[in-house]
Chain A
Amino acid sequence: EAQVTQNPRYLITVTGKKLTVTCSQNMNHEYMSWYRQDPGLGLRQIYYSMNVEVTDKGDVPEGYKVSRKEKRNFPLILESPSPNQTSLYFCASSPSGANTGELFFGEGSRLTVL
């Protein structure tokens, strides 16, 4: 089944404790992206990747890191989480590069930073 898989789905952590949210897609998509969703703000892009070893900042990259060592995986790293990073995170991928705007989303990861 074609899908984007995120883990963990739910996480409660404390300020400063490094964490990684994994994202994997099995559709051979070149383009992958991370978003955060906050009430009343819609989706805001954190980072995106056009292809392996190519990543770029989105609208709200501060406090986050990403890597794209393989085509299928695009982990999101919070080196020192803070409470303002409490949010719902979505990973997404797109066929045919980023040109189409047609995104396939993961199920979401709800992160709470205390």
Chain B
Amino acid sequence: AQSVSQHNHHVILSEAASLELGCNYSYGGTVNLFWYVQYPGQHLQLLLKYFSGDPLVKGIKGFEAEFIKSKFSFNLRKPSVQWSDTAEYFCAVKGVSNYQLIWGAGTKLIIKP
């Protein structure tokens, strides 16, 4: 069955620490990959996306993600987090010939000032 797994449900970091949030997917075919972010009390918004080409993609607010096809992974990274990065992060996958997004359960990130 198609699925998306986010390894950590909760992550707590101090400001300036480096961040890596894991995302692995199970899907038999070519995929498009996404990270969405939900700041406290707000709606989800697109952080970054991968469709094709360079597997290292850059998004807003200094975030980046690397698609490793052999590992079925799309991990989110940021070299130095800020308190304002406190949010819930969702990984999502879509087959290129499909219409539905498959969502991970989300990772709540808390940044201590």
Q: Find out whether the CB atom of B43 lies under 8 angstroms from the CB atom of A101.
A: no
Q: Find out whether the CB atom of A105 lies under 8 angstroms from the CB atom of B45.
A: yes
Question: What's the Cα separation between A105 and B44 when bound, in Å?
Answer: 6
Q: Which residues of A contact B25 (CB under 8 A)?
A: none
Say which one of B53-61, B67-75, B78-86, B94-102 lies at the interface with A.
Answer: B94-102
Q: Which residues of A contact B100 (CB under 8 A)?
A: 45, 48, 58, 98
Give chain A's interface secondary structure class.
Answer: loop
Q: Which residues of B contact A40 (CB under 8 A)?
A: 9, 105
Q: Find out whether the CB atom of A42 lies under 8 angstroms from the CB atom of B105.
A: yes
Q: Find out whether the CB atom of A42 lies under 8 angstroms from the CB atom of B99.
A: no
Residue of B nearest to A40 (CB): B105
Give chain B's interface secondary structure class.
Answer: strand
Q: Which residues of A contact B92 (CB under 8 A)?
A: 101
Q: Which residues of B contact A98 (CB under 8 A)?
A: 99-100
Count contacts on B: residues with CB < 8 A to the other chain. 20
Asked if A75 is at the interface of the complex by the 8 Å CB criterion, the answer is: no
A2 → B minimal CB distance (Å): 12
Asked if A103 is at the interface of the complex by the 8 Å CB criterion, the answer is: yes
Q: Find out whether the CB atom of B32 lies under 8 angstroms from the CB atom of A42.
A: no
Contact of B106 among A31, A42, A103, A106 (CB under 8 A): A42
Known A-B contacts A101-B34, A101-B49; the reply to A41 vs B105 at CB < 8 A is yes
5 A-B pairs with C-beta separation under 8 A: A44-B103, A92-B44, A97-B99, A101-B94, A105-B45
Give 9 closest A-B pairs by Cβ, nearest first: A98-B99, A105-B43, A101-B94, A42-B105, A42-B103, A43-B103, A105-B44, A107-B43, A42-B106
User: A residues bordering B, Cβ < 8 Å?
Assistant: 4, 31, 40-45, 48, 50, 58, 90, 92, 97-103, 105-108
For the A-B complex with A102-B34, A103-B36 known, give 8 more contacts whose Cβ atoms are closer than 8 Å: A40-B105, A41-B105, A42-B90, A42-B105, A43-B103, A45-B100, A102-B46, A102-B49
